[in-house]
Amino acid sequence: MKITGLNHITINVTDLEASKAFYEQVLGLVPTDKPFIDMGDHRLTYYQLPQGVRLELIEYDDPDQPTPVPVTHTGMYRHFCLETDDLETIVENCRKFGVTVTAEPSYIEKLGCRNILFIDPNGVEVEVVQY
């Protein structure tokens, strides 16, 4: 047995339209061939990421309210990271669309890349790096 790849990353959305606008306008993601599936009590919206990976946004009919968790809490999922060939455009889009930036663009010498961290409309932290 072996893991052969990453299939998708899921975000439970608080506002589907705001989330779609964010991922399309700020990050330039493109919906998949079959971008919308109604599962009855929730709906799935898919965006294509590189290497066959998908971003899955879930909108529930009866959602629970999120509880903010500090970034230093252990034993929890923290963020997902995307790689780009044009970090400046991502930075400009964050400013243009009023995205909350949690770590301004900087060069991380030990990792050999520039990065930025910001919050999506659902409170999910996203990192983007450029090598």
Residue 14 and residue 18: Cα distance in Å, rounded?
Answer: 9
Total structural domains within the chain: 1
Residue 71, domain member (yes or no): no
Residue in 40, 34, 41, 38 with CA at minimum distance from that of residue 8: 34
Q: Give the domain CATH number at 39.
A: 3.10.180.10
In terms of Cβ atoms closer than 10 Å to its own Cβ (0-12, 13-18, 19+), residue 17 is: exposed
Residue 69, domain member (yes or no): no
Residue 104, domain member (yes or no): yes
Mean pLDDT, rounded, for 46-59: 96
Asked if 49 and 2 touch (Cβ cutoff 8 Å), the reply is: no
What does the pLDDT look like over 85-105, one tens digit per residue? 999 999 999 999 999 999 999
pLDDT at position 19: 98
pLDDT at position 69: 77
Residue 3, domain member (yes or no): no
In terms of Cβ atoms closer than 10 Å to its own Cβ (0-12, 13-18, 19+), residue 45 is: buried
> pTM of the entire structure?
0.90
